[in-house]
A and B are shown apart, each in its own frame.
Chain A
Amino acid sequence: MKRLVPLLLIVTLALAGCQGWQSALDAHGPAAHTLANMFWIFVAVLGTVWFLTMAALLLALRRRRPVDADPLVTDPGTEKRMTMTISVAIGLTLVTVITFTGLSYAAQKVLYSHKDGALTLLVTGQQWWWEVTYEDEQPSRVFTTANEIHIPVGEPVLIKLEASDVIHSFWIPNLTGKMDAIPGRQNQIQIQADRPGLYRGQCAEFCGLQHAHMGIVVIADTREDFERWRDHQVSSAIAPNDPERQRGMEIFLSRPCIMCHQVRGTDAGGKVAPDLTHVGSRRTIGAGTLTTTRGNIAAWIVDPHGVKPGVNMPTIQLEPDEVQPLASYLEGLK
């Protein structure tokens, strides 16, 4: 019974695990609920199967043959009984398998039935961040952000998935299962959150050096909060009025930053890296790697490869007194 100790330990941890903020079993959306329930049904049935099989095995280890029995001699009665038992067991397995297939198909129908949602997003996986475009019928209300999705609570949101370089996989465990983003193809997935909150996800398909740091956050707000957020996101960045941030902006605009990043309302128009128009309002930088604070922004600028080795953000040569204004400017892009 030595095995029992680690087992108990693990079970305790397992129960704690259901609470994880990226846990598939901590469901916060209808799809995730369906999946979590289904998971527990499977666990119950399959666990029973395992215990029964192991019980049979342990019983089988009793020595039933006489010591000197000829190994080639078999008893027809025993053979018959064993055949019957195995047939029944196989029959039950078949029934289980068929039930599970049916159950699985039904759940699959639910999972992939896309209701008409109020909102359609285009999410593009890139090495190693997520570009998020909010689509709208009015072109002026289309905007792009990165690594953070805001959705209204209780409403289905359709996400179109694309990839610009290699295959990525979009996965918000609390809300629903994952879906791959494949270059040259477009996939769709629907997410919906039951209550306001912050749900983390990350890329699930190995995509190169920084696959580990390709996080995304989904923030579910009330409809009003969401609308307020969206109206703000559509707008351009407001020019700073305190001198430090003004200096930061000058540094930003005269440095390599603008080759890749965009800040709407300024000359910075790069399209190959995350849009920074409202970067200060986002929870994280570096695709879910650091929380957005002035210090973290500075650290990120000074040594991106210390945080995310191999990231496409270069180390740029800044004078020591330029770091703080630049970080301050970016932090101020609320």
Chain B
Amino acid sequence: MTQAITAHERDAVPEVTRLATGERGGAPGITSEADRPPDPQELRDDQVDGPELTARLAKTWGTEKGLIGALSTVDHKVIGRRFIVTAIIFLFLGGLSAVVMRLQLAQPENNLVGPDLYNQLFTMHGVTMMFLFGVPIGEAFAVYLVPLMVGTRNIGFPRLNAFSYYVYLFGGLMIWVAFMRNIGPDVGWFAYVPLSGPEFSPGKRADVWAQMITFTEVSGIAIAISTVVTAFKLRAPGMTLDRIPLFVWAELVNSFVIIFALPAVVTASAFLLMDRLIGTHIFNPAEGGDALLYQHLFWFFGHPEVYIIFLPATGWVSAIVVTFARRQVFGYIPLVLSLIATGFLSFGLWVHHMFTTGLPQLGASFFTASSMLIAIPNGIQIFCWIATLWDGRPVFRAPLLFVIGFFFIFVAGGLSGIMLASVPLDTQVHDTFFVVAHFHYVLIGGNVFPLIGAIYYWFPKFTGRMMSERLGKWHFGLAFIGFNVAFFPMHITGLMGMPRRVYTYMPEMGWANLNMISTIGAVLFFGSFLLFLHNIVASARRGALAGPNPWNAGTLEWAAASPPMPQNFDRIPVVTNREPLWAHRDTLPVVAGLSVENREQIVSTVTAGRADLRETTPEPSIWPFLTAIATTILFIGSMFTPWAFVWGTPPLALALIGWFWPKPSTEDEK
């Protein structure tokens, strides 16, 4: 083999001018407080080292004990951990509702659940999987891992991040409590008008759906912005754009898609709420409105949504493939470009969900072309990963197994997606179980399998303990078989004419056997997750200790302790390679000079990643939690009366002032 990079080259740390800007903070000619030399009394990390440094930093960055402390924390790892756990609880709830549905469909004319409950169940399943699991899980991983991977100590806006978590949690609780009280939405996760409109959805069920959207989207957009700022401004010195880990790229592109796609669903659900509650006519054809406007708005979000769920998974796959192929990724630039291309293209596909609504033909064909075109960036990604494995030395541990499962399932789902992109074929398979099969192949294949891989992969980082490899392999086998047994037959049931969202079917339709097989598969698949749950709980208690870098991976999160200390890193690393830990095996180049007593972190430039500022980041605060409570009261109140905006605003405003008002003890007064 010819050596492309010599060991010497990759270890070389560039001169200071390429690592730091050296610019002043204030405007030219102005004596700014920003440029004041740091307080000589304050202890800095170039004065202390070793365990003492670790301990002092841990005290500065730590979270206080007790309930108030727990609710005030702004540590991205604590919030991220709660986020991941909450999203996975919702995954189980969503899965449970799916199992009930599958049991109902196991036989024709089954009476396990009636149409009313069935409609609520499939709505809750869709809503939970899409809004309470699919989107948040990607963001949750971003919250935990992006700061670690870019080598900083906290996420961009820590308090906003904490607030977002609580808003998401309250939104999810609201809809599940509503469901348990028989106010669960029963209009499908897409809630098409007029079915979800004021005339055909009496009561509060559809309002609960619409307001849950507001909760999760406020939270989603806020986290996306925090993630973008973290990836743009808080990268370790030397982390140029082409050294950003692919996972961070994926989360970055994902965040951009979120920022531009989620407003569409908020618009749609806000319009729906207004139609329902204050009598606007946006979707009322008799008064100049139009029902299809809703579908356009919804799918303008709804298709990017699929990529919002898929993009983080590409990050997980990239990370796992590289570590377990024991080779740096093949085609870094094409991979990044195809991520970005996917992000852009995802906004040009929404009409393929509306091919049967009677839209003009030529327009529809345009969307056929654009929908099929997305095969190109996805193809590039798949091929680059396969190439990385090809030239690597794959290590078959549970994370890689799940990624291999991902390839099998996701590629199949992507290919059946090509059929759906074709207008004529779509007229036959649209809204049938074929589509159900297709998007479960895409979403479970494209998100859940990589996610499970990611959990096996990062679990040692989160908890400091390894998960059981033996159970992991059993889990994989069961999940893979269960999944295919459950969902492959649905392609056929759909082609045989079984529409989606039916609570039962008649024996003479001839769908009974296939449905029975699907149900058996679904139970098996759910069972594999119980095994997974057991593995998580048992390993978290008794798993083998992991150490900081159990997989001998190359990215920065493995340079922190497992689980990471509150400060993440004792000193901010300096990055000279895409895989810093592979490039620097003996010593880690770092920045010194940050405060040990205050929460200082490095702010760097967007493209070159040069260190620019040493900014303080917010202290823990209870106000984000209180703001989330005030927001919840306002949102829930506004489902009942528009006056909630009047009486709900003062507490919200107060909470926000509390949030932003500087504490007497902060840096200002020192």
Q: Identify the A interface with B (CB < 8 A).
A: 2-3, 6-7, 9-10, 13-14, 17, 20-25, 32, 34-35, 38-39, 42, 46-47, 49-50, 53-54, 56-57, 59-61, 63-67, 69-79, 82-83, 85-86, 89-90, 93-94, 97, 100-101, 103-105, 107-112, 127, 165-167, 169, 171, 173, 176-180, 182-185, 187-188, 200-212, 289, 309-310
Closest chain-B Cβ to A21's Cβ sits at a distance in Å of 7
Asked if B485 is an interface residue, CB under 8 A from chain A, the answer is: yes
**Known A97-B375, A97-B418; further 17 A-B contacts with Cβ < 8 A:** A3-B481, A10-B492, A13-B517, A20-B496, A64-B390, A72-B5, A73-B4, A78-B391, A108-B365, A111-B424, A112-B361, A127-B200, A171-B499, A178-B431, A185-B292, A212-B115, A309-B115
Q: How far is the CA of A101 from the CA of B188 in the complex (A)?
A: 31
Query: Would you call B364 and A108 a contact (CB within 8 A)?
Result: yes
**With A and B bound together, what is the CA distance between A150 and B504 in angstroms?**
27
Residues of chain B lying within 8 A (CB to CB) of residue A104: 365, 368, 421-425
Contact of A185 with B484 at beta-carbon distance under 8 Å, contacts A73-B4, A108-B365, A212-B115 already known: no
Q: Considering only CB atoms, which chain A residue lies closest to B431 in the complex?
A: A204
B23-31, B69-77, B157-165, B283-291 - interface stretch: B283-291
A4 to chain B: closest CB distance in Å?
A: 11
**Interface assignment of B500: CB less than 8 Å from any CB of chain A:** yes
B527 in the interface, Cβ–Cβ < 8 Å? no
Give A57 to B382 CA distance when docked, in angstroms: 9
Contact B582 A183 (CB under 8 A): no
Residues in B neighbouring A100, C-beta threshold 8 A: 372, 418, 422
> Which of A35, A176, A206, A212 contacts B188 (CB under 8 A)?
A206
Interface centre among A54, A67, A204 (most CB of B within 10 A): A204
Min CB distance A114 to B, Å, is 12
Instruction: Name 9 A/B residue pairs within 8 A (Cβ), A-sorted.
Output: A21-B509, A35-B424, A54-B408, A72-B10, A86-B331, A105-B365, A167-B192, A171-B497, A208-B200
Q: Please, how many angstroms separate the alpha-carbon atoms of A202 and B292 in the complex? A: 22
Q: Let me know if A64 and B285 touch, CB within 8 A.
A: no
Q: Enumerate chain A residues within 8 angstroms of B365, measured Cβ to Cβ.
A: 101, 104-105, 108
For residue B474, CB closer than 8 A to chain A, the reply is no
Chain A residue numbers with a CB within 8 Å of B327 are: 65, 69, 71, 74
Q: Does B419 contact A (CB under 8 A)?
A: yes
Within the assembled complex, what's the spacing in Å between the Cα atoms of A111 and B582?
Answer: 58
Q: B394, A6: Cβ atoms under 8 Å?
A: no
* Residues A6 and B484 in contact, CB atoms below 8 Å apart: yes
What is the number of residues of chain B that contact chain A, defined by CB distance less than 8 Å?
107
- Nearest Cβ on chain B to A85's Cβ, whole angstroms: 8
In angstroms, Cα B7 to Cα A20, docked, is: 65
Which of chain B's residues have a CB closer than 8 A to the CB of A32? 428
- Min CB distance, A170 to chain B, in Å? 9
B582 to chain A, nearest CB (A): 5
B200 touches A23 (CB 8 A): no
Chain A residues in 8 Å Cβ range of B497: 20, 22-24, 171, 173, 200-202
Distance between A32 CB and nearest chain B CB, rounded to angstroms: 8
Specify which chain A residues have a CB less than 8 angstroms from the CB of B502 in the assembled complex. Answer: 211-212
Cβ < 8 Å to A, chain B residues 119-160? 119
Residues of B within 8 A of A105 (CB): 365, 368, 423
Q: Tell me if B428 and A73 are in contact (CB < 8 A).
A: no
Q: Contacts A61-B394, A97-B372 given: A42-B504 contact, CB under 8 Å?
A: no
Given A3-B484, A22-B497, A111-B427, check contact A75 B2 (CB 8 Å).
yes
Q: Mark B370-408, 1 if CB is under 8 A from A, else 0.
A: 001101100110111011011111101000000010011
Q: Determine the distance from Cα of A209 to Cα of B513 in the docked complex, in whole angstroms.
A: 25
User: Which A residues lie within 8 Å of B411 (CB)?
Assistant: 50, 53-54
Q: Which of B4, B404, B501, B511 meets A74, CB within 8 Å?
A: B4
Which chain A positions have C-beta within 8 A of B192?
Answer: 166-167, 205-206
Which residue from A22, A54, A60, A182 sits with its C-beta under 8 Å from B509? A22
Judged by a CB distance under 8 angstroms, whether B617 is at the interface is no
Instruction: Decide yes or no: A187 and B358 within 8 Å by CB, A67-B393, A93-B379 being known contacts.
Output: yes
B195→A207 contact, CB < 8 A: yes
**Are A65's CB and B200's CB within 8 A?**
no
Instruction: Give complex CA distance A147, B607 in Å.
Output: 64
CB pair A169 B386 closer than 8 Å = no
Nearest CB of chain B from residue A158's CB, rounded to whole Å: 14
Provide the residues of chain B in CB contact with A169, threshold 8 Å.
Answer: 356, 431
Q: Which residues of A contact B291 (CB under 8 A)?
A: 167, 182-185
Q: Does B577 contact A (CB under 8 A)?
A: yes
Q: Cβ of B511: which chain A residues have Cβ within 8 Å of it?
A: 20
The 8 A CB mask of B352-374 against A (1 = contact, 0 = none) is: 00001110010011001100110
Report B192 CB to chain A, min CB distance, Å: 6
B115 touches A108 (CB 8 A): no
Whether A107 touches B424, Cβ cut-off 8 Å, given contacts A20-B510, A64-B392, A82-B387, is: yes
Q: How far is the CA of A86 from the CA of B192 in the complex (A)?
A: 42
Which of B387, B503, B511 has most chain A Cβ within 10 Å? B387
Give the residue name and chain of the A residue nearest to B513 (CB): A13
Q: How far, in angstroms, from A202 to B291 measured CA to CA in the complex?
A: 22
- Please measure, in the bound complex, the distance between the C-alpha atom of A251 and the C-alpha atom of B403, giving whole angstroms: 68
Q: Which of A21, A50, A72, A85 contacts B582 (CB 8 A)?
A: A72
Known: A22-B497, A69-B1. A42 touches B418 (CB 8 A): yes
Nearest-Cβ distance from residue A72 to partner chain B, whole angstroms: 5
Given contacts A6-B484, A79-B330, contact A182 B358 (CB under 8 A): yes
Please determine whether A208 and B195 come into contact, CB atoms closer than 8 angstroms.
Answer: yes
Per-position binary interface string of chain B over residues 102-124, scored 1 when its CB falls under 8 Å from any chain A CB and 0 otherwise: 00000000000011100100000
Q: How far is the CA of A167 from the CA of B103 in the complex (A)?
A: 28
**A57 contacts B391, CB within 8 Å?**
no
Determine the distance from Cα of A46 to Cα of B497 in the docked complex, in whole angstroms. Answer: 22
Q: In the complex the two chains form, is B2's CB within 8 Å of A76's CB?
A: yes
B residues 430-447 near A (Cβ < 8 Å) are: 430-432
Q: Known contacts A17-B492, A72-B583, A86-B387; decide if A49 and B481 are in contact (CB<8 Å).
A: no
A-B pairs, top 5 by smallest CB distance, nearest first, are A177-B427, A184-B285, A22-B497, A212-B502, A187-B358
- On whether the beta carbons of A101 and B368 are closer than 8 Å, the reply is yes
- Is B47 part of the binding interface, using a Cβ–Cβ cutoff of 8 Å? no
Whether A82 pairs with B330 at a CB distance below 8 angstroms is yes
Check A205/B492 contact, CB under 8 A, given A6-B481, A179-B358.
no
User: Which residue of the partner chain, among A23, A25, A205, contacts B431 with CB atoms under 8 Å?
Assistant: A205
Q: Does B599 contact A (CB under 8 A)?
A: no
For the complex, give the distance between the alpha carbons of A97 and B514 in Å.
31
Q: Contact at B418–A46, with CB atoms within 8 Å?
A: yes
The docked-state distance in angstroms from the alpha carbon of A204 to that of B115 is: 16
Question: Knowing A17-B514, A64-B392, A82-B390 touch, does A310 contact B412 (C-beta < 8 A)?
Answer: no
The verdict on B318 contacting chain A, using a C-beta distance below 8 Å, is no
A38: chain B residues at CB < 8 Å are 422, 424-425
Task: Determine the distance from Cα of A64 to Cα of B188 in the docked complex, in whole angstroms.
Answer: 49
A260–B114 CA distance with the chains assembled, in angstroms: 26
Q: State whether the Cβ of B429 lies closer than 8 Å to any Cβ in chain A.
A: yes
**Residues in B whose Cβ lies below 8 Å from that of A110:** 424
| CB-based nearest A residue for B429 | A24
Question: In this assembly, does B194 line the interface, its C-beta being within 8 Å of a C-beta of chain A?
Answer: yes
Q: Chain A contacts of B499 at CB under 8 A?
A: 171, 202-204, 211
Within the complex, the shortest CB–CB distance from B294 to chain A, in Å, comes to 10
The answer to whether A209 touches B116 (Cβ under 8 A) is yes
Shortest CB distance A110–B (Å): 8
- Which residues of B lie under 8 Å from residue A107 when comparing CB positions? 422, 424-425
A86 near B384 (CB under 8 angstroms)?
A: yes
Question: B489 contacts the other chain (Cβ, under 8 Å)?
Answer: yes
Q: Are A57 and B386 touching (Cβ within 8 A)?
A: yes
- When the two chains form the complex, which single residue of B286, B423, B513 contacts A108, counting CB atoms closer than 8 Å? B423
A208 to B25 alpha-carbon distance, docked (Å): 61
Q: How far is the CB of B336 from chain A (nearest CB, A)?
A: 15
A82 to chain B, nearest CB (A): 4
Q: Kindly state the separation between the CA atoms of A224 and B195 in the bound complex, as whole angstroms.
A: 41
Contact A54 B431 (CB under 8 A): no
Nearest CB on A from B412, distance (A): 6
Give Cα A24 to B501, complex, Å.
18
